[in-house]
Structure 1
Amino acid sequence: MSDTVRPARRGAGRPAGVPWPWLDRAGRISALRIALLVALAAPAAVLLWLLAAGALGADPWKQATREAGNHAAHILLISLAVTPLRWIADWPKAATLRRMVGLAALAYALLHLVLYAGHLGWNLLAVGAEIATRIYLTLGFAVLLGLCVLGWTSTDGWQTRLGRGWKRLHRWVYLLAAAAVLHAFLQSKARADGAVVMAGCWLWLMLWRLLPGPWRARPLALLALALVAALATALVEYAWYGAATNLPAARILAANLDLAAGLRPAQGILLAGVAAALLPLLRRLTPAGA
């Protein structure tokens, strides 16, 4: 949510200072922004259609709530991936999309709460009681409040008002993303693969930010980062299963070395990290303007 988008020109079809998501900084209709808007809105449209059609199983509101929460966490992590994409792909325009992605994460988090209220029969007192007494819900609600603050202050006007404090405030998104991942772990029971993948993504994104500037798009540095992030993901998985479940954590850890066990979260993080490391090489091999 921390990119800066200037208001479009007056006369572009909307009041000054209201940045319609399909317009670029000059107030022109942007095919890229329209495509991104459709991609961000499509999961919500499909989810609500499935809910209305009764196609989400025996407990549709609960399933819809879970799916909306997963989308919120995934999109929040994608918003953190915009800056690495800008560096690795040498694509400065990516930075102009960050606020849209961050606001989409907020929208899905709000949808997550609304669907949870529907799951409880729209009993707002029960919703409040559950949030106050269940630690994972308290944590999730705190993340939602934090995203609301970042979303409200994401405009150019607030950036001007807060000055240097604006960046400090919006760096809280890293902690909010970590809390969202923990929220996913606490909701999971015996099967936490999705939460482990999110943890691995968060680790890669944070470790990338610790790299010195000149290394952030170097293939060898990115390969090393992929290995470190994959190892850290495996250790997080081991720690979770060892501390929070009765499952054999050591056997789950060893499965990362067994190709017959299927794709494990740490292996997926490694593959994604290797793909990121190859991107600068592919960019160099692609003729300019191709």
Structure 2
Amino acid sequence: MTVQPRIADPRPMPSRQAARPAARAVSWPWLDRAGRLSRFKLAVFLLALAPGLWFTAAYALDRLGAKPLTAYLHAMGDWSVRFLILSLAITPMRRIANAPKLILVRRMLGLTALAYALFHFTLYIADQKFDLARVASEIIFRIYLTIGFAGLLGLVVLGITSTDGMIRRLGKAWPRLHRLVYPLTALALLHFFLQSKIDVSNPVYWSGLFLALMGWRLMHRFKVPTAPLPLLGLSVAAGLATAGLEALWYALATGVPASAVLSANLDFAYDVRPAWWVFATVILIVPLNLWQNRTASGGTGSAAKGSVGRPARA
């Protein structure tokens, strides 16, 4: 019997790397990691765009008052701070409400805050007639602009290093670098205070929420359980800290006695002070956590374990 020799197939075998599907050149914010449409991410993306589109339309239609460009740039700065605080709220809320899906939009919210901050700065340059020498001089000699610009540079660094590739390259240094978001948020809030001048109700409110978020992180660090009673205590502490912050600011900035500002929190004839709004906002997480605990009590215990994923940084 004659054995036929085996003839090698002249066609090259496909390599494993060649067999892999090509990676997407662009990762759109409304897609999940598998490249599929995520309705949740799409909804958050559209909500992130909404303030910018609304104020852009209002500016184009001359609906922003006597100084439209000034109002436009201030609005973009305000929304940058708001989205920054929202990004910091993701980690606490996903644990308090046992909602691991929230982590999908944390990076999006952080980058949205950066985008609004960059747009805010661009509008400031336009307000200065694109005179870059004057812009640089103002940043150097006006302290509130120096603080704001320093915060902007820090956010740019965090934005550049927020990609998956940079997370892999930086390794253990990445979480340490991104903890800078806390002092950068404090800088952004200080800039908010300084440019608000007389009426600081908005920066006081958002600063109070920032204090509440940092308070939750302190509770988590010392292993205080995320339960209704400690969260109730957090809401009371956040309200009191907000009242104290407002009183301290007015005492330092205008000379108004702190006792007068604190007593104003108990007088509802004129308006409701930011401390009460902070308390009302934070206390909403108490029934949410209570409902989550009851829902999960007969389930898999996922509320106790939390979500699995990257180490949380906010």
TM-score of the two chains, using structure 2 as the length reference = 0.84
Q: Any idea what the Cα deviations from partners look like across 1:172-215, whole Å, max 9, x if unmatched?
A: 00110011111111112221101101110110010100113654
Moved over 6 A (4+): none
Q: Any idea what the Cα deviations from partners look like across 1:24-50, whole Å, max 9, x if unmatched?
A: 122111000110000001100111111
- Compared CA separation, residues 282 and 122, structure 1 to 2 (3 A): same
Offset at residue 235 of structure 1 (A):
0.5
2:22 and 2:41 mapped to 1: Cα distance? 20
Letter of the structure 1 residue corresponding to residue 151 of structure 2: V
1:19 and 2:27 equivalent?
yes
Q: Which residue of 1 aligns with 2:178?
A: 170
Asked if the contact 1:215–1:221 (Cα under 8 Å) also holds between the matched residues in 2, the reply is yes
1:231 and 2:240 equivalent?
yes
Letter of the structure 1 residue corresponding to residue 260 of structure 2: R
Asked if the contact 1:193–1:265 (Cα under 8 Å) also holds between the matched residues in 2, the reply is yes
Q: Which residue of 2 aligns with 1:254?
A: 263
2:155 and 2:220 mapped to 1: Cα distance? 28
1:123 and 2:139 equivalent?
no
Q: Which residue of 1 aligns with 2:89?
A: 81
- 1:206-221 residue pairs with structure 2 within 5 A? 206-212=214-220, 215-221=224-230
Count of aligned pairs between the two proteins:
278
Letter of the structure 2 residue corresponding to residue 253 of structure 1: L
1:269 and 2:285 equivalent?
no
Q: Which has the larger helix fraction?
A: 1
2:164 and 2:47 mapped to 1: Cα distance? 25
Q: Which residue of 2 aligns with 1:241?
A: 250
Asked if the contact 1:21–1:33 (Cα under 8 Å) also holds between the matched residues in 2, the reply is yes
Structure whose CA Rg is larger = 2
Letter of the structure 1 residue corresponding to residue 159 of structure 2: G
Letter of the structure 2 residue corresponding to residue 22 of structure 1: W
Letter of the structure 1 residue corresponding to residue 292 of structure 2: R
Matching residue within 105, 120, 136 for 2:113: 105
1:94 and 1:216 mapped to 2: Cα distance? 20
- 1:131-146 residue pairs with structure 2 within 5 A? 131-146=139-154
1:283 and 2:281 equivalent?
no
Q: Which residue of 1 aligns with 2:37?
A: 29
Letter of the structure 2 residue corresponding to residue 91 of structure 1: A
Q: Any idea what the Cα deviations from partners look like across 1:101-149, whole Å, max 9, x if unmatched?
A: 0000000000000111111122222211111111100110111100000
Offset at residue 261 of structure 1 (A):
3.7
Identity fraction in percent = 47
Gaps of 5+ in 1: 1-8
2:187 and 2:84 mapped to 1: Cα distance? 11
Asked if the contact 1:208–1:216 (Cα under 8 Å) also holds between the matched residues in 2, the reply is no
